[in-house]
Amino acid sequence: MIERQDNGGDREIFEKASGVLSIKAGEDLGVRKSSLAQADNMSRASGVPITQEQRDLYALLREDTVGFYGAFSDQELLAKVLQFTDRTNLIPFMNAYPIIFDKIKTE
* pLDDT tens column, 4-27: 344 444 555 555 655 555 445 444
User: What residues in the chain have per-residue pLDDT under 70?
Assistant: 1-30, 65-66, 103-107
Residue 47 has a pLDDT of 96
Q: How far apart are CA 76 and CA 71, in angstroms?
A: 9
Helix orientation angle between 33-46 and 74-85, rounded to the nearest 10 degrees? 80
Domain locations in the chain? 11-22+30-95
